[in-house]
Chain A
Amino acid sequence: MKELLAARDSVNRWMERYGVRFGVYKNGVFNEQIFPFDAIPRQIPAKEWEMLEKGLIQRVKALNMFLYDIYHEKKIVADGVIPKEFTYESKGYMPECEGITPALNVYAHIAGIDLVQAKDGKWLILEDNLRIPSGASYPMIARKVTRKACPQTFRDNLIADNRNYGMLLKQMMDDVNGGRGINCILTPGRYNSAFFEHSYLAEKTDAILAFPGDLIVEDNKLYYVGLYQEKIRVGAIYRRVSDEYMDPLAFEPSSLLGVPNLMEAYKAGNVGVINAFGNGVADDKGIYYFVPKMVKYYLNEEPILENAPTYLPFFKEDYEYILNNIEKLVIKDVAEAGGYGVMFGRDMTPERLEEVKQLIIKEPRRWIAQEVIDFIDLDIIDETGNPSPRKCDLRAFVITGKETKVWKSGLTRFSRNPNSFVVNSSQGGGFKDTWVMEKD
């Protein structure tokens, strides 16, 4: 640990040198910021990881089965496990995806599952991110530079190497591609907040980084347009652009980021899209409540990982509980992400509480409520150079191609303020490396 702390400046210099940044718009002006890195890693013992790994694989398998089901037979709805409202009314449900079977039957190739560890040591799932979860590049590059700066630390500790994320991704992309063409990563452009990640992952997966306008669908196949106007067939596209902007003829007509008729090429099975279209229906904060039920329904197994205690105002019993206990709950808007639309009852004035109650009464389907979990603090080194506790979560990355694998690391994010529970990078937090230990 001493070596890590001593090497803090050197590690940060290396990170700057590699251009590890994320973009932020403030008042319409684009700025690149350092994603603050804290030298003290989160350590997960081997035994604990083994349990997490199993639980995560189980959860992602069930989520993929749910996505297949919802766009095909819809058995889980017919059998009354999930109410209709939670699927068809969800913003993430896309009727365009009805009946489409993606390559390998996989929808969520890259799942970013957010967990927290409660004070009693128990891990709880906070959120599933099945559309375009970001953040893996940061611990990847942090590890690369920390190993340079602190070789002894890595010699002395048996830490699972996490620099294989590129290989995991590449293997998955090749599985999805099936030899039809090249692999591409599509970025919305250099002014996207995660552009560093897009370009770094392209480098580490040997994929071509494509920009809007580089791709074209011709005769129902996707191509990358080369320097001499030659057309190079694309077999799999890892797109970092949201569904609705991906094909102006199928979705948002005004989109300039998309590729006209991509949806048709995808539907015809001529190109693999990573992650698949329509995944939003499964990572909706409302559907989250039902994921443990999915595990039982599809896999006939007990869920290994539990959700944080959650209430749905949609159900009468929960509705009353929420209205009576709102001051101690967290209220979340199901349609929001990235730490937006999250309200803590205890921080609200009585007037505001009343307003929120009215919102819930008006649109019960739009909200969920959760108990505030007293999750563990991890120490960071603060501005004064002293250890200081912060709330931390963990985003685990689960990759599914022919097989489902969990990346032996993850993005540990911490809140900027000691009192805050919100750890999203868009809200000013920082990150730590996550060490999965090879031995207990």
Chain B
Amino acid sequence: MKSILSANKANRLFWLGRYAERGYIMLHLMRKAYDEVIDVPVGEVPYSEFLKKMDVYVSNEMTTSYQMMDQIYNPETVTSLRSIIEMMMDNAIVLRSEILSESFSYIELCRDLIRAKSATRETNITELQPITDWLLAFWGCIRERVHGDTYALLEIGRLLEHLDMCIRFDYKYYRIEETWEMIQKYTRSYPDMFDAVQAARLHALIIDKEAFKKDPQDYKNKVLNGINCLVLV
């Protein structure tokens, strides 16, 4: 089904999908990181693994706990959860009539909560659990109510971000493979939205399991690059 969308709205749908997924996975991984810190032996630097994977430079001047707070709440830090949610909202606000007010409201709720918790610098991350719940509700709402190109663009954004995070955080190979298979459904049904040459190259890269085993870092860099060139909108 074709939806009536401008190029700008298509672009925003794609990014809304990406940011919503990134917010969701980030929060999940942050909870994991908080859990692991409980067992970190004295003398070791907490959260360093998480920060490294998020491409955050672990400096000696700030404690990593402080940097972690920054990764959650600081609106000036572009990779922070706060920034991700603000970006989600920034895209969603012009899409109300495409995604409908019910779905929109979950984004609004996430934004209001992260702002409120930023103000108090809430240290217990479980206080952010409603964001996870609302993001799941958001996707549920999208699946129930949104169709055609509009749905496809959100879903493409979500899946690409999912792939990105799987690779960034060293998920098992089968997770990467699975996600890529789902993306391929869209490259086949919506060929106009993808760069065909990039899609073929990325495909060859991803299915090269040997490369993944041999040099995970090199594999990671190449695939992450490829992801950013795949979609045309």
Residues of chain A having any CB pair with chain B under 8 Å: 16-19, 182, 190, 195, 199-200, 202-203, 207-211, 213-214, 224-229, 232
Contact = CB atoms under 8 A, between A and B. Distances in A.
B97 A203 contact: yes
Contacts, number: 63
Contacts of A208: 4, 97
A434 to B, nearest CB: 21
Given A225-B6, A226-B5, A209 B97 contact: yes
Interface string B45-71: 000000000000000000000000000
A199 B94 CA distance: 7
B108 interface: yes
Interface of B: 4-10, 93-94, 96-97, 100-101, 104-105, 108-109, 112, 149, 192, 233
Given A203-B101, A213-B8, 13 more contacts: A16-B108, A17-B109, A19-B96, A19-B101, A19-B104, A19-B105, A199-B97, A202-B97, A209-B96, A211-B8, A214-B8, A225-B7, A226-B4
Given A199-B94, A199-B96, A209-B97, A18 B104 contact: yes
The main secondary structure of chain B at its interface with chain A is helix
11 contacts: A18-B101, A195-B93, A199-B96, A202-B97, A203-B97, A224-B6, A226-B6, A227-B9, A227-B10, A227-B233, A232-B4
B192 A228 contact: yes
Interface centre among B101, B109, B112, B192 (most CB of A within 10 A): B101
Contacts of A227: 5-7, 9-10, 149, 233
B94 A190 contact: yes
A122 to B, nearest CB: 39
Contacts of A16: 108, 112
Contacts of B101: 18-19, 200, 203
B192 A17 contact: no
Contacts of A207: 97
Contact of A19 (B6, B10, B108): B108
A371 to B, nearest CB: 43
Contact of A210 (B6, B10, B109, B192): B6
Contacts of A200: 96, 101
B6 A211 contact: yes
A233 to B, nearest CB: 11
A54 to B, nearest CB: 34
A320 to B, nearest CB: 54
A135 B10 CA distance: 29
Nearest to B96: A199
B42 to A, nearest CB: 44
B3 to A, nearest CB: 8
B95 to A, nearest CB: 8
